[in-house]
Chain A
Amino acid sequence: MILQPSNTEQLVQALAQASARKEKIECVDLSALNRVIEHTAEDMTVTVECGATLTALQTELAKHRQWLAMDPPNPDQLTIGALINSNVSGPRRFGYGTIRDYLIGIKVILADGTVIHSGGKVVKNVAGYDLMKLFIGSHGSIGVSVEATFKLRPLPELEKFVQVQCKSLEVADRLIEAVIKSEITPVVLDLHQISKPENNAVTVVLGFAGTREEVEWQLAKAADLGFNQHSSLDYEATFWADSTLTHRLSVLPSTIVRVIRNLDGAPFIARAGNGIIYHRGTPAPRSEVLPLELMRRVKDAYDPNHILPELPL
């Protein structure tokens, strides 16, 4: 069953009914719930309905020179709900973190139609358990998030990107280590090879954001390390525009080059500072040990009739 509520009350009723009848919900289309409810610029917080797209939200926030410091792929299609459900992120993650660092309040409709809140509107809050975190990356499996409150950041005065082409992964690895040991504080530290060039070069990209003085000082420092070529995040757009299936790996950051070497030359983008690798080709075998029994209990407790999608693991 696909739900297309035009307001929260309809969603509450539809979920309660589906729960009672044990009908599976494949998808909830929240596109009608797309308002920016309240942007308090002086508090640097915003409350938004989860059907709004990230681009729509950022456009609104930009009027006050603020932003939700997230840059996942395809923001014009990505809704706030999907951003929370899938916990996606982009290249600036190295500098700004992920959605869990910005979500300060949430309103969720649980599987049986119960409306709950967690967190609130203030940036510091330890009243009660932090239920918010359960919904991040939950793929809609335990409730439907309908409203979210985020803390925001000021838009940086200036942002610049530079890159180096390295002739091998080993050279890139040493360069990345040098960046990490240096005094610069890039917001982007990416390693990529989105198509195989003849010389087999890989590219290391740095991004700087902040005041003009901060950015310029860092550009000079980066140049000392060999980052002399201007760059942009175009490789991101190119990589994600290709609809080929992408796999994600999350490893200890210092081991990315070792992991990439095993990808058999498949196109990849790595968030070198975070140890996240997106790649094409064959998925690597997973060996992660997760507390699955507890996760099953979470699902059973909040969606006892299993009407919402299962958590993909």
Chain B
Amino acid sequence: MMHATVPTVVSAEVVDALCAIVGKENVIYGDEELLVYECDAYTIEKQLPNVVVLPQTTGQVAAVVKLCAQHQLPIIPRGAGTSLSGTVLAVTGGVMITLSRMAKILEIDYRNRRALVEAGCVNAWITNAVKAQGLFYAPDPSSQSACTIGGNVATNSGGPHTLKLGVTTNHVLGFEMVMPDGEIIWFGTRPDGGEEVDGYDLRGAIIGCEGMFGVVTRVLVQLIRAPQMYKTMMGVFENVDDASRTVSDIIAAGMVPGAMEMMDQLITQAVEAAYHFGFPLDAGAVLIIELDGLAAGLDQQAERVIEICKKNKAREVRMAKTDQERMELWKCRKRAFGAIGRLSPNFLTQDGVVPRSKLPEMMRFIRACSEKHGLRIPNVFHAGDGNIHPLILYDEREPDQVRRALEAGHDILNMCIEMGGSATGEHGIGVEKIDFMAKQFTKEDLDAMRTLRRIFDPENRCNPHKMFPGSKRCADFAPRKQIAA
């Protein structure tokens, strides 16, 4: 992979100063060592930062950021680098501030159901720490065993279970952030404070900003009571339309399942070949429906779900009989992307959203798209949220396939926007979806966003060249292998 020349220059003197702040062992420079940091899980575009620093305290972060401000250097906050939209890319180089050495759980307040963690803390660690007390941290991205809370805050992450419980912004009470000038500010609820905070909801405006407003260093999250019981079902359908209608009918019946995830035939076959769960190979669609909550009445709800599945011509509905079986089923779902390797050397994934009721139409469009571009497109997605994940299969050795894959992706996202949806429900804009911003938003909307940007970062130095049309792009652009969820 070639690298375009890095326009940012970081002098030896600045590197020395960075070493003085965080210690030599926490500074990475030199192309070889920096390679890990050339991209996130969106690997189509790559670029090396000049330096990576791994601070261990908020004070160190602030000192690093101040030094960068003095020298007018771009700063790029980074968590685990699992982003799927290239939002951690050092487009023009700069100083990458990685939070992986600030990963502690600092305090757990069971009485008030709060946990204070450092931004580099891995999402799943929080639930692991509190589950013995019957609590959990709700947002559960499929990458939860790797991604950090800081990254979740920056991308407003969701997951399979956000249908009922919402996304990161609904569960993060407050956080400490180092502003691009080095000032340390707490936003939202303080660890010992009330949940309602006067004035503008800046916490809310920062969540989902893709690391462009500052470096988050500590996060206060809300914990909630874990469900007493799960009822996890698998409905087998002749086609995607019947399965989609089932999703709508369950909602219309006044139920809000914890999750409703759909897999079409292509992906079901791939998953079955990889994990041997026992999925039927000839079914048009498989729907995973999970009810959760208090045990009382859950059986009756499950019966209603089964009835609705049957009404929509489900061939069969299987219920996970043990916790083990439930875990197996979820493992298949969460690892579905991993199974794709059997179908194709490369794939491109999108995460557009359409109103739930438009799912059948969207699935038909994806099928047409697949025919038009001559590429297979399996689907595995958060059906309850209308959040699609078409996986466009291609072979990077065939330039024409690459071109068609990109075109198919664009067609699908354009259609999402046309249907009143969004180009992204989880992965963010980053560098990948910049072109869709002007389609989804008016010039005025974008100006209002730029205004917000200037309020936090008047010099456009924090994670620059992302999100907005007209941003600089990396020089080299050749789709390569991509992992995803």
B26 close to A (CB within 8 Å): no
Q: Mark A211-233, 1 if CB is under 8 A from B, else 0.
A: 11110111000000000000000
Chain A residues with CB under 8 Å of B300's CB are 211, 213
Which of B28-36, B39-47, B445-453 is found at the contact surface with chain A?
B445-453
B484 close to A (CB within 8 Å): no
A154 close to B (CB within 8 Å): yes
A247 close to B (CB within 8 Å): no
**Contact across chains for B112 and A291 when beta carbons are under 8 A apart:** no
**Contact across chains for A138 and B200 when beta carbons are under 8 A apart:** yes
Given A217-B296, A275-B194, A137–B201 Cβ distance below 8 Å?
yes
**Contact across chains for A154 and B254 when beta carbons are under 8 A apart:** yes
B207 close to A (CB within 8 Å): yes
Chain B residues with CB under 8 Å of A110's CB are 448
One of B155, B207, B353 near A125 (C-beta < 8 A): B353
Given A126-B428, A128-B445, A136-B201, A42–B420 Cβ distance below 8 Å?
no
B346 close to A (CB within 8 Å): no
A158 vs chain B, min Cβ distance (A): 10
Chain A residues with CB under 8 Å of B204's CB are 100, 130, 132-134, 136
Chain B residues with CB under 8 Å of A185's CB are 225, 293-294
Chain A residues with CB under 8 Å of B296's CB are 211, 213-214, 216-218
A-contacting residues, B254-297, CB 8 Å: 254-256, 293-297
Which of A20-28, A163-171, A296-304 is found at the contact surface with chain B?
A296-304
A300 vs chain B, min Cβ distance (A): 9
Chain A residues with CB under 8 Å of B70's CB are none
B120 close to A (CB within 8 Å): no
Chain B residues with CB under 8 Å of A289's CB are 186
Residue on B nearest A97 in the bound complex, by CB = B170
- CA A311 – CA B197 in complex, angstroms? 13
One of B194, B385, B420, B433 near A120 (C-beta < 8 A): B420
Interface residues on B, range: 35 or more
Which of A70-78, A111-119, A196-204, A261-269 is found at the contact surface with chain B?
A111-119
B54 close to A (CB within 8 Å): no
Chain A residues with CB under 8 Å of B448's CB are 110, 114, 116, 118, 131, 302
B324 close to A (CB within 8 Å): no
A and B contact pairs by CB, cutoff 8 A, 8 listed: A43-B356, A100-B170, A115-B444, A122-B425, A185-B293, A214-B297, A274-B196, A275-B195
Binding site for B on A (CB under 8 A): 40-45, 65, 87, 97, 100-101, 110, 114-118, 120-134, 136-138, 142, 153-155, 157, 177, 180, 183, 185, 210-214, 216-218, 248-254, 274-276, 288-292, 294-295, 297-298, 301-302, 311, 313
Nearest 3 pairs of A and B residues by beta carbon = A133-B204, A213-B297, A250-B194
